[in-house]
Structure 1
Amino acid sequence: MRDEIINRINNQADRFIAISLFIGEHPELGHQEFLAFEKLTGELRAQGFEVEAPVLGLETAFIGTYRAAKPGPTVAFLCEYDALPELGHACGHHLICSMSMLAAVGLKAVIERVGGEIRVYGTPAEETKGAKVPMADAGLFDDVDIALMGHPYYRHEKSGSSLAMDALRFEYFGKPAHAAASPHEGINALDAMLLLFGGINALRQQLASHVRIHGVIKEGGKAPNIIPDYTSADFYIRSANRPHTDEVVQKVLRVAEGAALATGCTLRTSNYEYAYDELITNEPLSELFSANLLALGVEEGQIYSGKDNGSLDLGNVSRRCPSIHPFVQIIDERHLLHTKEFRDQAMSARAMQGMVLAAQALALTAFDAVSDPEALARIRERFLQSTAD
């Protein structure tokens, strides 16, 4: 059956390469991925999947399902297809959606004999308001036995961890006044904002090395001769896990409150994007994926142990079901994600070969897990251990 999976993927590869190239040539921002949505859902229907769309009121979210007549485990392949502002598909999401769908198509070749259900989740806006968060909150992954996706990169890396993250907006409200004639009549919201940045910089000395805090001022005032009465800034606050991130957020909030108190401003805080939890990699499932890369011809020394220092909405899914997020080599030069160089190379013939390899490894990993009750039991046991509070 493994050969059947590989043969189905190879026979369908050109269709999904064309989809990757189309989406790569038509980048769309999160929750605006209408062309990608139409392309992907249309292909799923053509491949015999039932498609639910939209999902949770998200216009570009979907779930494609194929149920075998024989009961069995549920496998989820996750698609991302949003692009970055100005850069386009510099994170390779045009490859992620194709590799996941191609993997699902490959597994479908044998699922009637294995038994179970294949789902393809279309999850918009991973770069901002990741749809996996409300999907996980709504319980859409609670009955999934394994969830898989791969990420394009310049080398192969095992599924590791990511940083939990909160997205905080700080707004200060002051009082305008003429900056030269009557500055004493004003309350300077920009002073409060500068104190916030200074206070966070002072706080860094007392923070763990895995903490990341970075922000930008979105509104700093209108003119130098007017005391600014309104300022705003957006921050990402990250750390290795959710409990620690919550602690750091409280420290930053106290800094923000102190800046308001020192200047006489009023402070308003809000979350402008969803909170992401850290990724909990399911190690038995990850080991199956690495074994399949080796079986497909990747050399032992070419699979590295890595750690994603960014944040993933898949982290929220990994608390609901066993999940992996390995990185798969799609280029031969060292270009980093979110760069023009990576974007350009991710449209190459070499990148398309890497996408097909990733699809093969994902499909074979899913097959190994769902066709072996002992392997699935190990995966489930590790999931329960790693998510126990």
Structure 2
Amino acid sequence: MKNNINQTIEQLRDSFYKISQYIGENPELGHEEYKASKILTEELRKHGFRVELGTAGLPTAFEAIYDSGIPGPNIAFMAEYDALPELGHACGHNLIGTMAVAAGIGLSKVVNSCGGKIYVYGTPAEETRGGKVTMAEQGVFDHLDVAMMVHPFHRNEKSGSSLAMDAIQFEFFGKSAHAAGSPHEGINALDAVIQTFNSINALRQHVTPDVRIHGIIPEGGKAANVVPDHAIAQFYVRAENRSYLDELVKKVKGCAEGAAQATGATLEISDYEFSYDDMRTNLALSDVFTENLVQLGIEGSTIHEKGSGGSLDMGNVSHVVPSIHPYIQICNEPHACHTHEFREAALSDQGFEGLILGAKCMANSAYDIMTSPELLSKIKKEFSILK
């Protein structure tokens, strides 16, 4: 049956190539991915999937279902297809979205022999206000037994962890005055921002090594001779797990509150993007994926362990359902994601071969789960313990 899955994906490689190139050459920002969503869902409908658009109230999200009509596991593949400002698909989401669709279609050709349902979820805006966060909060994934996606990279890596992240905005309001003629009449909002940065920098000595705090000042005044009455600081605050991050965020907010008191400014705190939970890789599921990767010709010695790095909205999914987020090699040079070089790699022939490999591996792994109740039980048992 796995040969049938792989043959289907090979037979449709021209269609998948056109889709991935089209999305790559027509980059759309988060929640604006109308072209990408349309071409992906059209391909799924063509192969018998029932498609519903606007999942969880997100216009460019979708849920595609192929139901064998036979009781069995509910397996989901996650599609991403948003681009980055100015850089386009420099994180390879043109490959991720098409890969999920290819895996779903490949598996659909054999699922009637084993039973179960196949879901392909279109999840917009991973780079900013991640669609998976909203979808997870609204219970879209609660019925699933397994969820998986594959991310392009410069080498093959097992699914690992990611950092939980909050995106926090500190907006300070002061009082304007002439900076030379009457500075004593002003309240400097920019001073409050600078004091916040200084306090957070002092905090760094007293946090665990996994913590990452990085920020910018998107607004700090209009003219040097006017005391700024309005200033904004935005921070990403990250840690290995959600519980510690919640404690850390209280301290970071305390830094801003202290700065407001010290300067006399007033403070408003908000989240300017969605919060991401840490990625909880299901090791039993990850082992299945790695075994299939080896079966498809990848040497086990070239599959690296993945540590914690950035933040993913797939992390939110992993708190709801057993999940993996491994990485597939699409280039030989160690190009970092979110660069022009990685964008070109995602449009290259080698990048497309990574797409095909990832799609086969996900579909084959799903087939293993659908045909082995013992394996599914092992995956679920691990998830219940971690949860």
Identify whether the pair has TM-score above 0.5, normalized to the shorter chain.
yes
Verify the 8 A CA contact 2:75 2:366 in the aligned structure 1: yes
- Which residue identity is paired with 2:176? P
Structure-2 residue corresponding to 1:104? 104
Structure-1 residue corresponding to 2:7? 7
Structure-1 residue corresponding to 2:222? 222
- Which residue identity is paired with 1:255? C
CA deviation map 1:43-73 (0-9, x unaligned): 1111111111111221100000111121111
- Which residue identity is paired with 1:197? F
CA deviation map 1:232-263 (0-9, x unaligned): 11110000000110011000011100000000
Question: What is the alpha-carbon distance in structure 2 between the residues aligned to residue 110 and residue 300 of structure 1?
Answer: 27
Verify the 8 A CA contact 2:77 2:119 in the aligned structure 1: yes
Structure-2 residue corresponding to 1:128? 128
| C-alpha deviation, 1:42, in angstroms | 1.2
| C-alpha deviation, 1:352, in angstroms | 0.6
Verify the 8 A CA contact 2:56 2:140 in the aligned structure 1: no
- Which residue identity is paired with 1:200? I
Structure-2 residue corresponding to 1:303? 303
- Which residue identity is paired with 2:350? R
CA deviation map 1:183-212 (0-9, x unaligned): 000000000000001111111011111000
SS in 2 for 1:224: coil
| C-alpha deviation, 1:134, in angstroms | 1.1
CA deviation map 1:249-302 (0-9, x unaligned): 000011100000000000100011111100000001000000001000001111
- Which residue identity is paired with 1:262? A
Question: What is the alpha-carbon distance in structure 2 between the residues aligned to residue 333 and residue 114 of structure 1?
Answer: 41
Question: What is the alpha-carbon distance in structure 1 between the residues aligned to residue 334 and residue 314 of structure 2?
Answer: 25
1:147 lines up with 2:147 in the alignment: yes
Question: What is the alpha-carbon distance in structure 1 between the residues aligned to residue 48 and residue 382 of structure 2?
Answer: 33
CA deviation map 1:144-184 (0-9, x unaligned): 01001000001000000000000100000000001111000
Question: What is the alpha-carbon distance in structure 2 between the residues aligned to residue 335 and residue 264 of structure 1?
Answer: 46
| C-alpha deviation, 1:7, in angstroms | 0.8
1:191 lines up with 2:197 in the alignment: no
Question: Where does 1:319-334 land on structure 2 (aligned, <5 Å)?
Answer: 319-334=319-334
Structure-1 residue corresponding to 2:368? 368
Gaps of 5+ in 2: none
SS in 1 for 2:56: coil
Question: What is the alpha-carbon distance in structure 2 between the residues aligned to residue 300 and residue 46 of structure 1?
Answer: 36
Structure-1 residue corresponding to 2:314? 314
SS in 2 for 1:77: strand
Question: What is the alpha-carbon distance in structure 2 between the residues aligned to residue 306 and residue 280 of structure 1?
Answer: 12
Structure-1 residue corresponding to 2:25? 25
Structure-2 residue corresponding to 1:294? 294
1:261 lines up with 2:261 in the alignment: yes
- Which residue identity is paired with 2:320? R
Question: What is the alpha-carbon distance in structure 2 between the residues aligned to residue 38 and residue 315 of structure 1?
Answer: 26
Structure-1 residue corresponding to 2:339? 339
Structure-1 residue corresponding to 2:117? 117
- Which residue identity is paired with 1:328? I
CA deviation map 1:84-126 (0-9, x unaligned): 1111111000000111110001110111111010010000000
Question: What is the alpha-carbon distance in structure 1 between the residues aligned to residue 234 and residue 35 of structure 2?
Answer: 30
| C-alpha deviation, 1:2, in angstroms | 1.1
Structure-2 residue corresponding to 1:380? 380
- Report the aligned-residue RMSD: 0.7
SS in 1 for 2:254: helix
- Which residue identity is paired with 1:282? N
SS in 1 for 2:120: strand
Question: What is the alpha-carbon distance in structure 1 between the residues aligned to residue 342 and residue 53 of structure 2?
Answer: 31
SS in 2 for 1:56: helix
Question: What is the alpha-carbon distance in structure 2 between the residues aligned to residue 366 and residue 308 of structure 1?
Answer: 25
- Which residue identity is paired with 1:305? E
Verify the 8 A CA contact 2:163 2:238 in the aligned structure 1: yes
SS in 2 for 1:171: strand
Structure-1 residue corresponding to 2:207? 207
- Which residue identity is paired with 1:303? I
Question: What is the alpha-carbon distance in structure 2 between the residues aligned to residue 56 and residue 140 of structure 1?
Answer: 7
Question: What is the alpha-carbon distance in structure 2 between the residues aligned to residue 171 and residue 190 of structure 1?
Answer: 10
Verify the 8 A CA contact 2:240 2:308 in the aligned structure 1: no
- Which residue identity is paired with 1:135? M
Verify the 8 A CA contact 2:211 2:239 in the aligned structure 1: yes
SS in 1 for 2:249: helix
Verify the 8 A CA contact 2:36 2:81 in the aligned structure 1: yes
SS in 1 for 2:12: helix
Question: What is the alpha-carbon distance in structure 2 between the residues aligned to residue 57 and residue 376 of structure 1?
Answer: 31
| C-alpha deviation, 1:380, in angstroms | 0.5
1:47 lines up with 2:47 in the alignment: yes
Moved over 2 A (4+): none
CA deviation map 1:199-226 (0-9, x unaligned): 1111101111100001110110010111
Gaps of 5+ in 1: none
Verify the 8 A CA contact 2:123 2:132 in the aligned structure 1: yes
SS in 2 for 1:320: coil
- Which residue identity is paired with 1:87? L
Structure-1 residue corresponding to 2:179? 179
SS in 2 for 1:168: strand
| C-alpha deviation, 1:308, in angstroms | 3.7
